[in-house]
Every structure is written in C-alpha cells, then in structure tokens.
Structure 1
Amino acid sequence: MCEKITKVNSWLSTVFGDQPVPHFEVNTRTVDILYQLAQSSEARCSDTALLIEDLKQKASEYQAEGAHLQDVLLQGVGLSCGSLSKPAADYLSSLVDTAMVLGVRDTSLGSFMPAVNNLTNELLEAEKSNRRLERELRALRKRLGATLVLRSNLQEDINKTVKSQAVESAKAEERLLNMDFVTAKAKELSNRRERAEAQLLSRNMDKSITHQAIVQLSEEVSALKQEIIPLNKKLEPYMDLSPSPSLAQVKIEEAKRELAAIDSQLEMNMDFK
C-alpha cells in the first residue's frame, strides 16, 4: 500500500509539475485507481518515447539520404538547389508535396505507382459507397414521400372523424333532449289519463259509450254489412221467379226473414250507436 502511495505521489508531482497537487481522499479505492492511471500513463509515455526515437531515427536517415542525393546531384551532375530554375524548383516542390500526401518513402516511380493505385482503389470504393448511399437516399426519400402522403391522409381522416363525431354527438344530445321531452310528455299524458279515468269512474259513466266500445260496435256493423252482401246476391236469382212455385216461395220467405232479422239487428246497432 505504501509503495502504491509513493508511486502515485511521484506520478502526480510529475503530472502537475510546479502546480500543487489537488487534495483527494486517501483510501484503498482512490489509491488503486490512481495507481492504475499512473501505470497506464507511464506505459503510454514509454510508447511515445519509443515512437519519438523511431521518428528521430527516420528523420536522421532521411536527412542523410537527402544529403547523399544532394552530393550526388552536385558532384555527379553539377546541380544544386540554387542552380535550379523556378519551374524546376516548383516541380520538385510539387513532387515532394505529392510524396508527403501519398505517404511514400521516396519519390521513385516504384513508390508512387502503388500509392496511386491504392488511392484509385479507395476512390472507386468511395464512389461505389456513394452510389449505394444515393440509392438508399432515393429509397428513403420515396418512403418519406409515401409516409408524408399517408400522414396527410390520416390527418384528413382524423379531421373528418372528429367533425363527424361532433355532429353525431350533437344529434345524440338532441335525441336525448327529445327523449326526455317525450318521456315527460308521456308521463304527463298518463297522469292525465289516469285522472280522467278516475273522474269518469267517480261519475258512474257507462262503458258502452266509450270510444273503444263505439269503435267495436262500428266494426261489428261493418262485419254485418259484409254478411248482407252475399245474402242479397243469393236473393237476386229468386227475384225474377214466378210466385207460383211453392219451393221458390218458401226460399224467398226464408231469405226475407233472414234479411229482416239482419236489418233489424243492423237497425238496433245503429240506434245504439
């Protein structure tokens, strides 16, 4: 535990430098966390130092190779950077910039071609991905348009449904009001009928002169009139017969008696009505 605390304090002092180390609660958990951070930081610093050393070594190698190539150009060809024309210097600068962009080790054709091929392949893959994304975008736009149209139709249907519900609600409320009015009116009429019936009963009214009794008598009179019609038709053939045949006379007398009885009943009913 003491070793961890010592290492943590040393690491914090290195991190903050001249600034004071912030106060923190010293316990097992915080010390373990800071100890792991210190180890990770030291590992990264070590890796960074190795990378810096590698880059320094490569830089020195590049500088040595550049000095060697400069000596070759100066001694073998008699060229120097100052003796180059402006277009040649521009071309050389462009060549160097291109090599740096492509990330090649040197400016030879053998280094440029693979780098250019890699960039071409990356460009083709990017174009292929771009075309795929464009197809997906068109499909998404199409689905979005269909979705917007569907949303508009649904909103229109919802508005129509809301209006229809409002109308139906108003109609239902009106029907309820009418129903309440009809119920109250029916109750009032029922009470009036009961009071009228009680009043009629108190006056000992004959039920035979009520509306229902009169309607029943009218129906009976109509039925009797209908019964008379076929009897009159039976008498028609006998009206032209000679009074001499006794059988015809008997039939006529029977028909007359039946007709007289029906007429008498009819007159009684009519008088009663």
Structure 2
Amino acid sequence: MAAGGSTQKAAAAVGSPMPEKLWRITSWLKKTFENQLVPQFDVNTKTTDLLYELVEYSEERERDVSFLIEDMKKRAAEYDAGAEYLQSLLTESLGLSPSSLSEEGTAHLNTLVDSAMILETKDTYLTSFFCAISDRTLELHAAESKNKEMEQRLVNLKKKLTATLVLEKQLEKDLEKTKTHLEIEVAKSENRLQNLQFLEDKSEDLKIRIKTAEEQLAASGLDQSLLHESLVSMSEKLAEMQEEMVHVKKKLEYYLDLPPNLSLARVKVEEAKRELNALEEEFSKQIEMLTHDVQETKKL
C-alpha cells in the first residue's frame, strides 16, 4: 500500500470514514518506511488484524525502550551527582583532586576503580569489597568443586572408553577367528560334499556294472546257484545242518547211559547211527556241491 493515494483506496475498500485500525496502520507504516515507498497489501480483515497487532507490539516496544532510556539517563545523572559530591568532598575536606594525585596515587586509584568494576561493587567501601570477595570466593569454591566433579566424570568416562576399546579389539579378534574358522569349515564341508558325490557316483557305477555282469553271466548259461545270493543261501543252510548235527551228537550222548536191556539199546543205537550217517552223507554232498560250484566259478 502506498503512502498517499493507496490510503484512500484502502479506506474505500473497507468503507468511509476510515476505521481507526487502518489509520493507525497507515501512520505506523509511513513512520516506519519514512521517505520510502510503502509496500502494497490486500486490505481485508485478516491482514488488517495482523498489521494492527504488529503496530501495537512495535509501539509497546518503543515505549519500553523509551522507559529504559529514561531510566539509564536518570541513573547516569545520579552517578554523576554522586561523583561530583565525592570529588567535592575530597577537594574541600582533604584538598585532593585527581589532578593533584601523584603518579603512584593515580595508579592506586585506578586499581581501586578497576577492582570495584571487576567485583561489581556498588561503592568502594571496604565492607563492599569484603562482601564481593567473599561472594567470589564462594563462587570459586563452587567452580572448583564442579571442576573436580567434572574431572572425576572425565576419568570415569576415560576408563569406560578404554574398556570399550579393549572389548572392541577383542571382539574384532574373535570375529576374525570366527571368520577364519568358518572359512575352514566351509572348505571342509565342500570337500565332504564332493567326496559324497564321488561315492554316490561310484556306487551307482558299481551297481550298473554288477547288474551288467549278472546279465552277461546269465546270458552265458551260468547256473543261478553259483551267484552270490545262492551261495549265501547255501552257506546258511550248511550252518543250519551243522547245528542239527550238534543236536544229534548231543542226543547220542544220552545213549551212553542206556539200560541193561541190550536189545533195546542196540535198536536205538542203530537208529541213531543211521540218522547220523544220513546227515553226514547229506553234509558231504553239500560240501562237494559247494566246492564244485566254486571251482566252476573260478574257471569262468
């Protein structure tokens, strides 16, 4: 909004006569921008309220600054009056003035003033210095105590940091060992898998070769009784017959204590002998057949 004709346009937009808010806003904008062109803005309820709040805040801030300036001027006048009073007191009562002091006295006076300013005392009385020094001493003790506490915390943190670094290095070593061990185990596992695959392939190849050999033997007219399964079966039968012979021999042992009836004993003995002879003949036949089959197999 411009400083001149724009004000009338704004007034026409919100109605005539111009409301008090808009007059205050316009005056504040002119005062703020002085000889510069005031920026234009849309005149509506929202922008008017916002600008009015800004005007009130700015005016309140200006009042606070004015009060602060007046207070500082008043204090400066009081300090000047106090300084003039002290200077007149020194001049009239003791005949002292800053210009009449020696170089050493001026240095002491400057030191006294600097000390009062550093200690932030309201005057240069001895009690004020004592109170200020006491306050600074308490602050110093509090600061030293806090520094000691911070140093202790720093020491504890350093210890924790050292322990953490040691633990981190140990974990790194353990991790490296674990990685190495894992690589070794992976290599072993791969080797086992390769060996297992080789054995599986070899087993499959042997099965095929055995089956082919059996088919070739069957085609050449080989007796089925000479095959491995038949030989195993005959061996089992032979073992059974040997067990039966053991039982028969045990039965014959019973006849050693036969009763005095000789005729009955002879009959039983003859029966046992015939049974034993039959078993021995059968056993001999089986042995001969097995031997013959083995020899035939070797010839093939």
TM-score bucket of the superposed structures, by smaller chain: 0.7 to 0.9
What is the CA deviation profile of residues 95-137 of structure 1, one whole-angstrom value per residue up to 9, with x for unaligned ones? 1112222222211123223322222222222222222222222
> Matches of residues 117-128 of structure 1 in structure 2 within 5 Å?
117-128=134-145
> Which residue pairs with 1:83 in the alignment?
100
Gaps of 5+ in 1: 239-244
Task: Quote the offset at 1:250 in angstroms.
Answer: 7.9
> Which residue pairs with 1:47 in the alignment?
64
In the alignment, the residues of structure 2 paired with residue 186 and residue 98 of structure 1 have an alpha-carbon distance, to the nearest angstrom, of 105
Cα 1:155–1:29 change in 2 (3 A) is farther
What is the CA deviation profile of residues 155-198 of structure 1, one whole-angstrom value per residue up to 9, with x for unaligned ones? 33333333333333333333333444444444444444444555
Stretch moving more, 260-269 or 7-16:
7-16
In the alignment, the residues of structure 1 paired with residue 235 and residue 203 of structure 2 have an alpha-carbon distance, to the nearest angstrom, of 29
Cα 1:35–1:162 change in 2 (3 A) is farther
In the alignment, the residues of structure 2 paired with residue 225 and residue 91 of structure 1 have an alpha-carbon distance, to the nearest angstrom, of 137
What is the CA deviation profile of residues 190-234 of structure 1, one whole-angstrom value per residue up to 9, with x for unaligned ones? 444444555555566533111122133334445655766798899
Gaps of 5+ in 2: 1-13, 256-261, 291-300
Matched, 1:152 2:169: yes
Task: Quote the offset at 1:10 in angstroms.
Answer: 3.8
Cα 1:51–1:103 change in 2 (3 A) is farther
TM-score for the superposition, normalised by structure 2: 0.70
In the alignment, the residues of structure 2 paired with residue 179 and residue 33 of structure 1 have an alpha-carbon distance, to the nearest angstrom, of 86
In the alignment, the residues of structure 1 paired with residue 36 and residue 214 of structure 2 have an alpha-carbon distance, to the nearest angstrom, of 113
Among 172, 185, 204, the alignment partner of 2:189 is 172
> Which residue pairs with 2:24 in the alignment?
7
> Which residue pairs with 1:35 in the alignment?
52
Task: Quote the offset at 1:266 in angstroms.
Answer: 2.8
Stretch moving more, 27-36 or 44-53:
27-36
Aligned pair count reads 268
> Matches of residues 143-222 of structure 1 in structure 2 within 5 Å?
143-198=160-215, 205-221=222-238
TM-score for the superposition, normalised by structure 1: 0.76
> Which residue pairs with 1:63 in the alignment?
80
Task: Quote the offset at 1:153 in angstroms.
Answer: 2.7
> Which residue pairs with 1:267 in the alignment?
284
In the alignment, the residues of structure 2 paired with residue 146 and residue 201 of structure 1 have an alpha-carbon distance, to the nearest angstrom, of 80
Contact 2:248 2:276 survives alignment (8 Å): yes
In the alignment, the residues of structure 2 paired with residue 210 and residue 56 of structure 1 have an alpha-carbon distance, to the nearest angstrom, of 131
Stretch moving more, 44-53 or 253-262:
253-262
| 3-state DSSP of counterpart to 1:106 | coil
In the alignment, the residues of structure 2 paired with residue 178 and residue 266 of structure 1 have an alpha-carbon distance, to the nearest angstrom, of 47
Contact 2:218 2:224 survives alignment (8 Å): no
| 3-state DSSP of counterpart to 1:100 | helix
In the alignment, the residues of structure 2 paired with residue 261 and residue 177 of structure 1 have an alpha-carbon distance, to the nearest angstrom, of 58
> Which residue pairs with 2:119 in the alignment?
102
> What residue identity is the alignment partner of 2:92?
Q
